[in-house]
Amino acid sequence: MAWLELFNLTKTFPGVRAVDDVSLDLDRGECLALMGENGAGKSTLIKILAGAIQPDSGEIRIKGDPVSFPNPVAAQQGGIGVIYQEFNLIPDLSIRDNLFLGRDLTRRGGWLRRTEETDQALEILEKVGLSGINPETTCRRLTVAQQQLVEIARAFIADAKLIVMDEPTAALTTRETTCLFDLIDELKSHNIGIIYISHRLEEIERVADRVAVLRDGALVAEDPVEKMGRATLIEHMVGRKLESEFPERGENRSADIALRVRGLTRGTKVRDVSFELQAGEILGLTGLVGAGRTELARLIFGADRPDSGSIELHGVPVSFQSPRQAIRAGICLLTEDRKQQGLILNHPVVENFGLPNLRDFSRGPFLNLAGEARSFDHYVDKIGIRTTGRRQPAGTLSGGNQQKIVLAKWLQRNAEVLIFDEPTRGIDVGAKYEIYKLIQELAAQGKAILFISSELPETLGMCDRILVMREGRLTGEISDPETATQVDIMELAVHDPKGSE
Ligand SMILES: Nc1ncnc2c1ncn2[C@@H]1O[C@H](COP(=O)(O)OP(=O)(O)OP(=O)(O)O)[C@@H](O)[C@H]1O
Ligand SMILES: [Mg+2]
């Protein structure tokens, strides 16, 4: 008998059966990967397990005994720790307070408990690769990657027997991801079970012992990882064969320089960065977390002002005081932090899609709602946005489908220079392919694209050229991604530009 058993769990939301008669089990010390397209029901299933939502029917057993988790605290006491897809940290509290939130470890109050907690926090933070960080730091000041690690630390502290991770590496780059995998190995050796959700196939092959695939809420396959090859896995997820992960490259670069950046500098985050982006080019920008890629994008987009340096659009010097000016001049930025993209969660998806595109859909003083709906449907179809209808509130879409809405908003915008910061984060493998194709179509139309990504395979598979950043500087360029390898990029990403070579 396995430690955890799920029997015939079902959960229906208006218009959709999110989890459909799912039975699964998991032993301690084992890592089960849960896979499936955006909206397949992965998060819903683990929310049931976490006591965050109640199933319509079905049963959960632990060590053979039926249990019920009417709320998240009950699940936590049952030994289940969950790291959610959407961050759950309270931004204005310190790391330490977030770690111990809702846990009254000792009834002893005051500074004694605080010092104990601080000590324990330091120990755990070091374990998750956050050594050297002050536990008093407010979480708002952490990078996305650091927040993720604090979430993981919190599950450790709760002394979980089973840790569920819903896309834990979505915001981590190669190095942090490697650390996390080592950590998972260690947890397994301490007899802790892991349910691991991710859209990245390489990760599944690295960490998981078994893989279960959900499709439209139902369990469609379950096998040891080594038995289920990558092609079969994809086929189970998308329900069709995918010939390749990346669309065929086209050569769309023209002599026209769409964007020229010279000596761009802001503090120590961006230091003396110069490059050119041709019309029709897909230029990759990669590096470790904190390398300065997002900061660079913000400077170009007018979200921050540079200390020095210049920007030219089609040979004309520009200096933006705000993103609004940049947008007007034809630059778009899809930021990595999707929450700040301002999806209005209780508004229908179609309105969220149309919101920033009002100009495209307005005829004189009237909104062209039919045009908006048509365009929306086009993207729903193209990248497989799963909704129960145009009027579904954006907040009830699955994580990946919310991101698809944000992405569609920008894809459909008529800009000359498009900056995509981690465009496929959290997007399922089938939809990724369609997004790559859409980005390539934009390039074929002569748009210039700056493609920021931490995922090296997609950077190599998609870009005409790749720039690598480290500590605010460009450390190198890969001019022929077709023959380059991930190792080539990593070498540039860790290379010390000032060091002796
Ligand atoms: N509170 C809710 N109200 C209505 N529908 C919901 C709600 N929560 C989830 N759904 C629907 O249930 C389905 C499954 O969503 P879920 O979040 O479990 O998907 P997922 O597999 O985690 O996808 P992703 O990979 O995008 O995170 C989706 O169709 C989603 O729109
Ligand atoms: Mg999810």
Place of tokens 């503090």: 267
Which ligand ends up closest to the CA of 426?
1
pLDDT value at residue 172: 73
Q: Which one, of 67, 60, 66, lies nearest residue 46 by Cα?
A: 60
Mean pLDDT of 248-253: 89
Give residue-wise pLDDT tens across range 224-247. 999 988 889 988 988 877 777 888
Q: Which of 13, 37, 219, 386 to mutate to test the pocket of ligand 1 (most atoms within 8 A of CB)?
A: 13
Looking at per-residue confidence, does 384 or 496 come out higher? 384
Instruction: Provide the CATH topology of domain 243-330+415-501.
Output: Rossmann fold (3.40.50)
- Closest protein CA for atom 28 of ligand 1: 39
Mean pLDDT of 253-274: 95
Note the pTM of the prediction, 2 decimals. Answer: 0.80
Whether ligand 1 lies within 6 angstroms of the CB of 36 is answered as yes
Give residue-wise pLDDT tens across range 445-459. 999 999 999 888 899
CATH class of 4-238: alpha beta
In this predicted structure, the answer to whether residue 105 has a pLDDT above a threshold of 80 is no
Taking the centre of ligand 2 as the mean of its atom positions, its distance from the CA of residue 39, in whole angstroms, is: 7
Whether ligand 1 lies within 6 angstroms of the CB of 16 is answered as yes
In this predicted structure, the answer to whether residue 357 has a pLDDT above a threshold of 60 is no
pLDDT value at residue 452: 94
Whether ligand 1 lies within 6 angstroms of the CB of 384 is answered as no
Q: What is the mean pLDDT of the chain?
A: 87
In this predicted structure, the answer to whether residue 125 has a pLDDT above a threshold of 70 is yes
For 458-491, b/e burial (b = at least 16 CB within 10 A) is bbbbbbbbbbbbbbbbbbbebeebeebeeebbbe
Mean pLDDT of 297-323: 94
pLDDT value at residue 500: 37
Is-contact 225 193, C-beta < 8 A? no
Q: Which two tokens stand for residue 12?
A: 């229906």
- The share of the chain scoring above pLDDT 90, in percent, equals 47
Quote the radius of gyration of the chain (alpha carbons, Å). 23
Domain with CATH 3.40.50.300 in the chain: 4-238, 243-330+415-501
Taking the centre of ligand 1 as the mean of its atom positions, its distance from the CA of residue 450, in whole angstroms, is: 31
Whether ligand 1 lies within 6 angstroms of the CB of 396 is answered as yes
Of the pLDDT bands very low, low, confident and very high (cuts 50, 70, 90), residue 76 is confident
Q: How wide is the angle at C-alpha 370 spanned by C-alphas 367 and 372, nearest 5°? A: 70
Whether ligand 1 lies within 6 angstroms of the CB of 400 is answered as yes
Is-contact 330 447, C-beta < 8 A? no
* Residue 193 phi, psi dihedral angles, 5° rounding: -85, 150
Looking at per-residue confidence, does 341 or 429 come out higher? 429
Is-contact 6 24, C-beta < 8 A? yes
* Residue 468 phi, psi dihedral angles, 5° rounding: -115, 135
Tell me which of 174-183, 334-343, 445-454, 463-472 is least confident.
Answer: 334-343
